[in-house]
Copies of this chain bind each other. A is one copy, B any other.
């Protein structure tokens, strides 16, 4: 089969012919209909420091996908050939205290699809039965393939109250953009979107942000304090990873509010905890992964019911073979989600 293979510990990847994998015990084999590029895939492609330390080539890239089960391994009981599925990409141990408490997203022994084992930028992918997610047939493959990052957005937005609340979302990458839609469909009365890229801010408008701020030309602190009469917003979602935002976000969150962090700053950031966190009663939440399966259920419900429309976020559809073009789009920043089709876009 065709697969995008990280063959060597160096930038780039190749389109390789590899054997179709076989499902082991309690695993399933999925024929991939659509697979989407994540920022993590881009990190592996450009071979940044994180990738150098974590990835062991050769390995098939990719982890976001939707497809159809074509073979099941021994002992599989909850999935069958023909099922239309996606997958939770964190393969967890089930036995650490976090797993026992239902906090699988912080399992002590997580292994990740496309990072620690072969991934989905291929015609076929093997996933453990317990990671299989059954898609609603009303959700098309391109949208179904981005349920995994949508889950990050949902986990972040719904980490606190949204209903009748005001929010500021820093960073309009795909997850930030999806977070706008999630917040609005879950009762947020005001959502401001902040970024430095007008292409992405245009998508933010389509996702129904109530205010968009290009922080290169407008001070988000000033704009948000003016809008909230100096009080600040109920919640800040930090989805950019930019250190600069740490100097803004505590100024725009109201006393008693929350700051929810999904973005990953490259370096330690200094915070004035006394004035900005303790004295103002702020809660800071670190968010990783998705709540399994709470987050997935919410995403499926919002998508299948039509409450949430992610089509503005999906900006590019490419043949799998054009993966390099997709990676270049990611480098440029002028894209939302890029979907790759192993059978070809026009299929």
CB distance from A44 to the nearest CB of B (A): 17
* Contact A103/B256 with A283-B284, A286-B279, A286-B281 known, Cβ cut-off 8 Å: yes
Q: Any chain B CB within 8 A of the CB of A101? A: yes
Interface string of A142-166 (1 = CB under 8 A from B): 0000000000000000100011111
Interface string of A240-281 (1 = CB under 8 A from B): 010000100000001110000111111111111110011111
Q: Quick one: which of B163, B272, B288 contacts A279, CB cutoff 8 A?
A: B288
Q: For the complex, what is the distance from the CA of A256 to the CA of B286, rounded to whole Å?
A: 9
Q: B102 to A255, Cβ gap below 8 A?
A: no
Q: A189 to B305, Cβ gap below 8 A?
A: yes
Which residues of A in the span 211-247 have a Cβ within 8 Å of any Cβ on B?
231, 241, 246
Q: Any chain B CB within 8 A of the CB of A94? A: yes
Which residues of A in the span 82-96 have a Cβ within 8 Å of any Cβ on B?
94-96
Interfacial chain B residues near A102, Cβ < 8 Å: 102, 294
* Contact A272/B268 with A187-B307, A231-B108, A256-B101 known, Cβ cut-off 8 Å: yes
Of all chain B residues, the one with the shortest Cβ separation from A159 is B283
Of all chain B residues, the one with the shortest Cβ separation from A283 is B285
Interfacial chain B residues near A96, Cβ < 8 Å: 231
Q: A301 to B189, Cβ gap below 8 A?
A: yes
Interfacial chain B residues near A185, Cβ < 8 Å: 187
CB distance from A211 to the nearest CB of B (A): 12
Q: B98 to A255, Cβ gap below 8 A?
A: yes
Q: For the complex, what is the distance from the CA of A71 to the CA of B165, rounded to whole Å?
A: 33
Of all chain B residues, the one with the shortest Cβ separation from A94 is B78
Interfacial chain B residues near A130, Cβ < 8 Å: 94
Which of A166, A254, A278 is most buried by chain B, counting CB atoms within 10 A of its CB? A278
Q: For the complex, what is the distance from the CA of A256 to the CA of B271, rounded to whole Å?
A: 21
Q: For the complex, what is the distance from the CA of A225 to the CA of B293, rounded to whole Å?
A: 22
Q: A281 to B106, Cβ gap below 8 A?
A: yes
CB distance from A237 to the nearest CB of B (A): 12
Q: A297 to B186, Cβ gap below 8 A?
A: no
Q: B302 to A187, Cβ gap below 8 A?
A: yes
Interfacial chain B residues near A283, Cβ < 8 Å: 283-286
Interfacial chain B residues near A75, Cβ < 8 Å: 25, 75
Q: Quick one: which of B166, B269, B274, B280 contacts A271, CB cutoff 8 A?
A: B269
* Contact A286/B273 with A158-B163, A186-B186 known, Cβ cut-off 8 Å: yes
Q: Any chain B CB within 8 A of the CB of A299? A: yes
Q: B268 to A271, Cβ gap below 8 A?
A: yes
Which residues of A in the span 45-101 have a Cβ within 8 Å of any Cβ on B?
75, 78, 94-98, 100-101
Q: Any chain B CB within 8 A of the CB of A10? A: no
Which residues of A in the span 174-190 have a Cβ within 8 Å of any Cβ on B?
184-187, 189-190
* Contact A268/B261 with A97-B231, A101-B293, A293-B101 known, Cβ cut-off 8 Å: no
Q: List 15 A-B contacts (CB under 8 A).
A: A25-B75, A78-B94, A78-B95, A97-B231, A101-B256, A103-B281, A162-B187, A164-B186, A164-B299, A164-B301, A185-B187, A264-B274, A277-B284, A281-B286, A281-B287
